[in-house]
Amino acid sequence: MTFFSNILKELPPDLPNIINITDYSSSKISIVKVENAFATPNAFDFYKFLLPLTSEYPIEVMEDEKYRLKRNNLFPVNPGQFHCSETDNKPIIKIPPFLAIFVDKQFVQETGKVLFGKDKIFFENNNRFINPTLQNLINIFIEETVNKQAGYQLILENLNLQIAINLLRTLENNCTHELDIKNYSEKSPINDVINYLHKNYTEEFSLEEIASSVNYSPFHFIRIFKVATGKTPFEYLLDIKIKKAKEMLKNSTKSVTEICFSSGFNNRSHFSVVFKRKTGHSPSQYRKIVNG
């Protein structure tokens, strides 16, 4: 079952056929192509982002305010916000195709919690030009749902997160208004994990334990962590250990074996292999190079 089924539950039964909908959906996101606008006010229990593909888009009416939407600009609609198009007293008018991107509310809020440390996300109702990165993600999302090649569901799950993060980063919302991104990242659960890894790199712990500490499944935690840092938790931890080893090789007289254990490795052979892969030199060679 795709997320589009949730949308259908909140629409009048006959409306999807009348307004000519084509959907491209995953479990968390539905990108809907629509060719008609209607004047019946409606509100959804998820986030909606309107994306006109031409300049021929009617005035959008939202909570007694009127908005002129712009071509290739995203316009957010928050959960519970009633909205409709101005159609000159006609129930439905035909317009050039536009996209409506629906995103699961809980998914957006969970992602906001990781990025900014808060889950009550409210987007400003204004236009924002869609950036090339987000446009490309949307195009790939649509291609994957249409072609359905082997592994497409895993790709869609990854795209869900990338699209949600890009929407939170690029569209004005209550998080970016209160504090800048840096301040939010300092409060995020991922930053808590990073601090923990730096302080406890010599300890033994499992991925499940770390993920559980920030209330995520291991699979979801790995994806979030990699988006935030560019590395998996394991790769990040290895880099910390190698950095500590390099500092000790340069600034201490400890033996390579002592440095191996002091930097969190429990096997000298494995330590040497990883160190050479990361630096291009064995620990002994590195010590000679940095100390002249």
Express each pLDDT in 92-138 by its tens digit: 778 888 999 999 999 999 998 888 888 889 999 999 999 888 999 99
Average pLDDT value for residue range 189-202: 88
Average pLDDT value for residue range 43-52: 93
With bands split at pLDDT 50, 70 and 90, how would you rate the model's confidence at 19?
low
Q: What pTM value is reported for the model?
A: 0.62
Q: Which CATH architecture has domain 235-290?
A: Orthogonal Bundle (1.10)
With bands split at pLDDT 50, 70 and 90, how would you rate the model's confidence at 14?
low
State percent of the chain over pLDDT 90.
Answer: 46
- Give the residue extent of every domain in the chain: 4-175, 186-231, 235-290
**CATH code of domain 4-175:** 2.60.120.10
With bands split at pLDDT 50, 70 and 90, how would you rate the model's confidence at 3?
confident
3-class state of residue 179 by DSSP: coil
Q: Which amino acid is located at 46 in the chain?
A: F
Between CA 13 and CA 17 the distance in angstroms is 9
pLDDT tens figures, 255-292: 999 999 999 999 999 999 999 988 899 999 999 888 87
Instruction: Tell me what pLDDT residue 15 has.
Output: 64
CB-CB neighbours of 283 under 10 Å: 24
Average pLDDT value for residue range 219-226: 81
Between CA 97 and CA 53 the distance in angstroms is 7
Q: Mean pLDDT score of the chain, rounded to an integer?
A: 86
More confident site: 156 or 4: 156
User: 264: left (phi > 0), else alpha (psi -120 to 50), else beta?
Assistant: left
Give the list of residues 6+ apart from residue 155 with CB closer than 8 angstroms, or none.
140, 144
With bands split at pLDDT 50, 70 and 90, how would you rate the model's confidence at 181?
very low
3-class state of residue 150 by DSSP: coil
Give the C-alpha distances (Å, rounded to integers) separating 234 from 67, 93, 222, 227. 47, 54, 9, 14
Order of strands across the sheet that contains 128-129: 21-25, 29-38, 92-103, 47-52, 73-77, 128-129
pLDDT at 178 over 80: no
pLDDT at 38 over 90: no
